[in-house]
Amino acid sequence: MAARIELLIRKLEQFRRLSFDERQVLENVPIDVQKIDTGRDLRRDGQRSSHCLLLLDGMVCRYRTMQDGRRQIMSFHFPGDILDLSSLLLGRLDHDIEALTPLEVAPIPHATVLGWITHEPGLGRLLWQDTLVDAAVFREWVVNLGQRSAYTRTAHLLCEMAARLQAVGLAPDQTCTLPVTAAELADATSLSIVHINRVLQELRSKGLVEARGRTLVLLDRDGLRHAGGFDPGYLHQRAVPAA
């Protein structure tokens, strides 16, 4: 199961290379893979849990539902992400987490994660860094929703998703396939379905993206970076030398 935990290792190695001992601690974690269907809520607002969920395959969003049924997606998550690390110290979750695709997740007991931090404090710092980057991403989303036009906002979001997938080795090329629908992008960008359709049409007409079924293919990442005014500095990814 070392290959499964490798996703988390790759994610943490965005910050610095892990030591041999740190790597061993993570590689010795028993991984119990659970499969989850699309559309299922993995965690609910207010829920307490004794485990953290490590995402191994698929895509997830955190969201909040308004009283009139509208939904605000607050973040997207990719393999290697721990979806509810906050449950470790904050207890109750303050949002819902939904499977946007079929998923594979591995529940890791809170006691295990706390054990990592106790025995390898360096891992604790890396998880802290991860939560700080999470906060940086939320800050960028505030700027994105509040200050960027519909077109720029959407391009910026697509760039961010691609950059995060690339960091765990899942978007190695200039092209990148995102399993995300127009409705989900609308909920994440606070745009109506009509406006997101128009934006996607404009991005398509410029050869930047292409819709294929339930997925969106990013065809020209440099073009999208330009369209979104995207600077990945806030993701704090270390430049990894090519393998």
Partner 1 sequence: MPVELLLHPVPVHTGSGDQDGQLVLADGRLVAVLVRLDDLSHAGLLGAWFLEAGFGPCAHVVAPIFSDLDMAQNWIRQQFD
Tokens for 197, please give them. 């359709």
Task: Give the nearer residue to partner 1 in terms of CB position, either 87 or 189.
Answer: 189
CA count, 13 A, side-chain hemisphere, 232 = 20
Task: Give the nearer residue to partner 1 in terms of CB position, either 90 or 193.
Answer: 193
Task: Give the nearer residue to partner 1 in terms of CB position, either 15 or 151.
Answer: 151
- What are the angstrom distances between the C-alpha of 7 and each of 111, 127, 134, 206? 21, 14, 17, 34
Question: How far apart are CB 201 and partner 1 at their closest, in Å?
Answer: 4
Task: Give the nearer residue to partner 1 in terms of CB position, either 83 or 200.
Answer: 200
How many Cβ atoms from other residues are within 10 Å of residue 189's Cβ?
Answer: 21
Which residues lie closer than 8 Å to 135 by C-beta, 6 or more apart?
none
Task: Give the nearer residue to partner 1 in terms of CB position, either 28 or 192.
Answer: 192
SS3 content of the chain, % helix, strand, coil (to 5): 45, 20, 35
Question: How far apart are CB 193 and partner 1 at their closest, in Å?
Answer: 8
Task: Give the nearer residue to partner 1 in terms of CB position, either 193 or 217.
Answer: 193
Question: How far apart are CB 222 and partner 1 at their closest, in Å?
Answer: 23
State the residues that interact with partner 1 by CB under 8 A.
68, 70, 192-194, 197-198, 200-202, 204
Which residues lie closer than 8 Å to 176 by C-beta, 6 or more apart?
161, 162, 165, 166, 217, 218, 221
Question: How far apart are CB 181 and partner 1 at their closest, in Å?
Answer: 12
- Give the C-alpha separation, 113 to 116, whole Å: 5
Cβ atoms of 43 and 62 within 8 Å: the answer is no
Question: How far apart are CB 2 and partner 1 at their closest, in Å?
Answer: 44
Question: How far apart are CB 226 and partner 1 at their closest, in Å?
Answer: 18
Strand order in the sheet with 215-218: 176-178, 215-218, 209-212
